[in-house]
Structure 1
Amino acid sequence: MAESAVNAVLGNLSHLAVRESTFLCAVTLEVGLLRDELKRLQAYLKDADSKWRSGNVRVAVLVSQIRDVAYEAQNVIEAADYMEKRNRLKRGFMGAISRYARLPSDLVTLHSVGAKIQRVKRKLTDIFASAANLEIHLGDTSVVEDEFPTDFGHMHQNSDDDIFMVGFEDEHKEIVDKLVDNEEMLSAVSIVAMGGAGKTTLARKVYTSSRVKEHFNTVAWVTVSQTFKGIELLKDIMKQIIEDKDGCGEIDKMDEYQVGKKIHDLLLQKRYLVVLDDVWKPNTWEQLNRTVKAFPDATNGSRVLLTTQKEDVANHVQMPTHVHHLKKLDETRSWEIFSSISLPSYKRSVIDDVNEFEKLGRKLAEKCDGLPLALAILGGYLAKNLNIEAWSYVLLGWASIEDSKMMRDILARSYKDLSSHYLRSCFLYLAAFPEDFVISVSDLIDLWIAEGLIPHIPNHKPEEIARMYVTELAQRSLVQVVGRSKGHRWIQRIQLHDILREWCIEEARQDGFLDVNTEITGHASHLTHLYNSTSCF
Structure 2
Amino acid sequence: MYLNVEESLPSILVRVFFTSDLFGRKKVFNQISKRRGWEAQVTISRGVFDEVAQRDSIPKVVERILHHQKIFGQEEIVESTWGVIKEGRVGLLWGVYGTGGVGKTTFLSQINNKFLTESNDFDVVIWVLVSRNPNVKRIQEEIGKRLELYEECWEKKTENEIASVIKRSLERNKYVLLLDDMWEKLDLASIGIPDPKRNGSKIVFTTRSNEVCGSMGVDVEIEVKRLMLRDAWDLFTMNMEETLRSHRDIPDVALKIMRSCKGLPLVLSVIREAMSRKNSIKEWRAALGVLSSSAAEFARIEDVILPMLKFSYDELKSETTKSCFLFCALFPEDYEIGKDELIEHWVSQGFIIGSKGINDRGNAILGTLIRAQLLEESGSREHVQMHDVVRDMALWISSGCGGDQKQENVLVVKANAQQNVAST
Q: TM-score, normalised by structure 2?
A: 0.73
Aligned to 1:357: 250
Aligned to 2:195: 296
Distance in 2 between the 1:201 and 1:461 partners?
36
- Residue 169 of structure 2 aligns with an amino acid whose one-letter code is L
Deviations 1:259-292 (A, max 9, x none): 11111001012111111111111x31x2x424x7
1:328 Cα offset (Å) = 1.1
1:410 aligns with 2:308: yes
Distance in 2 between the 1:465 and 1:248 partners?
39
Aligned CA distance change for structure 1 residues 430 and 469 (closer, same or farther; 3 Å): same
Aligned to 1:492: 382
Distance in 1 between the 2:387 and 2:232 partners?
19
Aligned to 1:160: 67
Distance in 2 between the 1:470 and 1:215 partners?
42
Aligned to 2:210: 311
1:199 Cα offset (Å) = 0.5
1:197 aligns with 2:197: no
Aligned to 1:434: 332
| Structure label with greater radius of gyration | 1
1:206 Cα offset (Å) = 1.5
Could you list the runs of 5+ residues in structure 1 that have no partner in the other structure? 1-157, 485-490, 522-537
Aligned to 2:287: 394
1:336 Cα offset (Å) = 0.8
Deviations 1:226-276 (A, max 9, x none): 21222221222112112x6xx532332321011111110010121111111
1:411 Cα offset (Å) = 2.4
Distance in 1 between the 2:273 and 2:343 partners?
22
Q: What SS does structure 1 have at the residue aligned with 2:409?
A: coil
Aligned to 1:261: 164
1:177 Cα offset (Å) = 1.9
Aligned to 2:412: 516
Deviations 1:324-345 (A, max 9, x none): 111210111101111116x1x5
Distance in 2 between the 1:386 and 1:172 partners?
36
- Residue 345 of structure 2 aligns with an amino acid whose one-letter code is L
- Does the 8 Å contact 2:232/2:258 carry over to 1? yes
The 5-angstrom pairing of residues 142-181 of structure 1 reads 160-163=67-70, 165-181=71-87
Q: What SS does structure 1 have at the residue aligned with 2:379?
A: strand
Q: What SS does structure 2 have at the residue aligned with 1:434?
A: coil
Aligned residue pair count? 341
Q: What SS does structure 1 have at the residue aligned with 2:390?
A: helix
The 5-angstrom pairing of residues 78-93 of structure 1 reads none
- Residue 279 of structure 1 aligns with an amino acid whose one-letter code is M
- Does the 8 Å contact 1:225/1:277 carry over to 2? yes
Aligned to 2:55: none
Aligned to 2:151: 248
1:277 aligns with 2:208: no
Distance in 2 between the 1:352 and 1:219 partners?
46
Give the percent of matched residue pairs that are identical in Structure 1 and Structure 2: 22
Q: What SS does structure 2 have at the residue aligned with 1:473?
A: helix
Out of 478, 483, 504, the residue aligned to residue 374 of structure 2 is: 478
1:192 Cα offset (Å) = 0.8
Aligned CA distance change for structure 1 residues 272 and 442 (closer, same or farther; 3 Å): farther
Distance in 2 between the 1:456 and 1:352 partners?
42
- Does the 8 Å contact 2:176/2:201 carry over to 1? yes
- Does the 8 Å contact 2:96/2:222 carry over to 1? yes
Distance in 1 between the 2:351 and 2:83 partners?
48
- Does the 8 Å contact 1:234/1:260 carry over to 2? yes
- Does the 8 Å contact 1:219/1:241 carry over to 2? no
Distance in 1 between the 2:82 and 2:344 partners?
40
Aligned to 2:58: none
Distance in 1 between the 2:153 and 2:119 partners?
28
- Does the 8 Å contact 1:180/1:212 carry over to 2? no
- Residue 161 of structure 1 aligns with an amino acid whose one-letter code is H
- Does the 8 Å contact 1:430/1:496 carry over to 2? yes
Aligned CA distance change for structure 1 residues 178 and 189 (closer, same or farther; 3 Å): farther
1:408 Cα offset (Å) = 2.7
- Does the 8 Å contact 1:224/1:276 carry over to 2? yes
1:352 Cα offset (Å) = 5.3
Distance in 2 between the 1:227 and 1:300 partners?
31
- Does the 8 Å contact 1:186/1:297 carry over to 2? no
Aligned to 1:467: 363
1:351 Cα offset (Å) = 7.0
Could you list the runs of 5+ residues in structure 2 that have no partner in the other structure? 1-64, 401-406, 418-424
Q: TM-score, normalised by structure 1?
A: 0.59
Aligned CA distance change for structure 1 residues 239 and 252 (closer, same or farther; 3 Å): farther
- Does the 8 Å contact 1:180/1:301 carry over to 2? no
- Residue 78 of structure 2 aligns with an amino acid whose one-letter code is H
Distance in 2 between the 1:519 and 1:361 partners?
40
- Residue 189 of structure 2 aligns with an amino acid whose one-letter code is N
1:420 aligns with 2:327: no
Deviations 1:89-111 (A, max 9, x none): xxxxxxxxxxxxxxxxxxxxxxx
- Residue 508 of structure 1 aligns with an amino acid whose one-letter code is S
After TM superposition, the structure 1 stretch with the greater mean CA deviation from structure 2, 170-179 or 327-336, is: 170-179
Task: From the two aligned structures, give the one with the greater strand fraction.
Answer: 2
Aligned to 2:225: 327
Distance in 1 between the 2:290 and 2:142 partners?
46
Deviations 1:200-227 (A, max 9, x none): 1111122122246854322222222221
Task: From the two aligned structures, give the one with the greater helix fraction.
Answer: 1
Q: What SS does structure 1 have at the residue aligned with 2:414?
A: coil
- Does the 8 Å contact 1:186/1:298 carry over to 2? no
- Residue 68 of structure 2 aligns with an amino acid whose one-letter code is D
Q: What SS does structure 1 have at the residue aligned with 2:193?
A: coil
Distance in 2 between the 1:479 and 1:409 partners?
17
1:179 Cα offset (Å) = 2.2
- Does the 8 Å contact 1:196/1:374 carry over to 2? yes
1:396 Cα offset (Å) = 3.2
Aligned CA distance change for structure 1 residues 207 and 417 (closer, same or farther; 3 Å): same
- Does the 8 Å contact 1:161/1:201 carry over to 2? no
Aligned to 1:507: 397
Distance in 1 between the 2:197 and 2:244 partners?
60
- Residue 305 of structure 1 aligns with an amino acid whose one-letter code is V
The 5-angstrom pairing of residues 47-86 of structure 1 reads none
Q: What SS does structure 2 have at the residue aligned with 1:515?
A: strand
- Residue 266 of structure 1 aligns with an amino acid whose one-letter code is S
